[in-house]
Amino acid sequence: MPFHLDHSWVWDFWFADDGGTFHMYYLHAPKSLGDPELRHRNARIGHATSTDLTDWQDHGPVLHPGPAGGFDETAVWTGSVLRGPDGVWRMYYTGARFAVDGGNTQAIGVATSTDLHTWARQPGPVTEADDRWYEKLGDSSWPEEAWRDPWVFSDPDARGWHMLVTARANHGAVEDRGVIAHATSPDLRTWTVQPPLSSVGAGFAHLEVPQLATVRGENVLLLSCDTPRLSAARREAGQTGGVWSVQAPSALGPYPVRDARLVVGESLYSGRVIEDRAGRTVMLAFDATDADGTFLGSVCDPFPVGRSPDHPGIVPLSLPSERTPR
């Protein structure tokens, strides 16, 4: 059944696979807050494990906000995990710092682990928005400095490492500045911010939770955007938000985000693609809302996805049916 917690909402998540066990790291915040929108200021990172992506054992919180004055002093948000050539697991995560007036600044930090259970926060941030290419807080009416949801992967030619980041360009229409930012590293420790791998004007104010996946030998970029953050042109054309995907010409783009199409609607969000033990490509996403618009805050069961000649990304081959009540 879907992964849920009785006393907390669960939303964005990401995986590590040690070969025998799937490790899921997830954002959560207490339902006692009352308003689900308050979860963003109160997010912590939890940990659960499974052998089949369906039955999960929860292990509780593994990463909390950092000290006062730090880049992650308010909340810790979405990230990704990988194992380096030194055998150390690294969790690149988003740190959020909210100002009194409500605006927030995001940056990327890292925590390390040898066993995927205990994590040690390292000094940070390791990357933050560079104003040569990216919007900073106050550059427009947008209420945040977007620099979040890092997805880290090895270079296809073994020339170091790449990080994809949810960010906004420093030019273009305010509602249409969403881009996939890019940073590089020779060693997973030192990072250099690079120009974006997608262009403004694609119809998205933000491109959340990016993931680069390989599906049937093709590079596919996965991302999420809700309806209010679509451009006016997309909304006027009747489009709605959710989980999107698009085929990429190479692992390093450029990503043709303008051609992205919905995989699933926004009752599911922040989808992740992973291969199960049977070798099937499946997606999990968080249950955002039920039919009445009530926020659910759980993670759905895996459902198979594949390629279609009529779609530039991936499509669901079936959908999960069970939803968790609030």
Q: What is the reported pTM?
A: 0.97
pLDDT for the residue numbered 49: 98
Q: Is 175 helix (H, G, I), strand (E, B) or coil?
A: helix
First to last CA, the chain: 15
Question: Which residues lie closer than 8 Å to 119 by C-beta, 6 or more apart?
Answer: 62, 63, 91, 111, 112, 113
Sequential DSSP letters for 93-132:
EEEEEE-TTS-EEEEEEEEEESSSSS-EEPSS-SB---TT
Q: What is the mean pLDDT of each run of 10 residues along the chain (326 residues)?
A: 94 97 98 97 98 97 97 98 98 96 93 98 97 97 97 96 98 98 98 98 98 94 98 97 96 97 96 97 96 94 92 88 54
Distance CA(8)–CA(46), nearest Å, equals: 11
pLDDT for the residue numbered 320: 82
Q: Which residue from 263, 280, 171, 289 is spatially nearest to 209, judged by alpha carbons? A: 263
pLDDT for the residue numbered 324: 53
What value does the CA radius of gyration of the chain take, rounded to a whole number of Å?
Answer: 18
Domains of the chain and any CATH numbers: 8-316 (2.115.10.20)
